Amino acid sequence: MDAVLDIRVSGNLSEFVDLIKTFRLSRPLIVEARRLRFPVQLIATVAELKRVLMLDNWRNWPMLYDVPAGGQIFGGIAVDAGIEGILYESVLTGKKCVAVFPQNFQNSSSYVELDDPAPSDDVRMRMDSSNFAEFI
């Protein structure tokens, strides 16, 4: 894959944080959030962003508040930016993982291919610009 964002490296998130750290919430939104006892946090540092992205209990916010988790929002921004994948470290195992966004393979020479035999004939060996839609 050509356009992979490695979020294990803090410096790769610096420019993004520089853009979002100046965001401000409107007064009515703050008042409503307090009334509903809805915790609101804006990200101002790379450390804060990494903490939000690597939460092991990331499902809590979506279940409690019916809103996307921080990692889901970040993934959506990455997709919109044309990123093909995000490299991160598993919070459970500490091993390298990659989230792949097939929709961004459309006009790309990137591909993902299995090294080993497929577990069944139903499993595609390769995903690229010619068949990415089958994976969405």
Task: Spell out the domain ranges in the chain.
Answer: 10-82
Q: Mean pLDDT over all residues of the chain?
A: 91
Q: Indicate the pLDDT class of residue 86, thresholds 50, 70 and 90.
A: very high
- Residue 66 Rama label (left phi>0; alpha psi -120 to 50; beta): left
Q: Indicate the pLDDT class of residue 41, thresholds 50, 70 and 90.
A: confident
> Is 5:12 a contact under the CB 8 Å cutoff?
yes
Between 14-18, 109-113, 132-136, the lowest mean confidence (pLDDT) is in 132-136
User: What's the predicted TM-score (pTM) here?
Assistant: 0.83
Q: Indicate the pLDDT class of residue 65, thresholds 50, 70 and 90.
A: confident
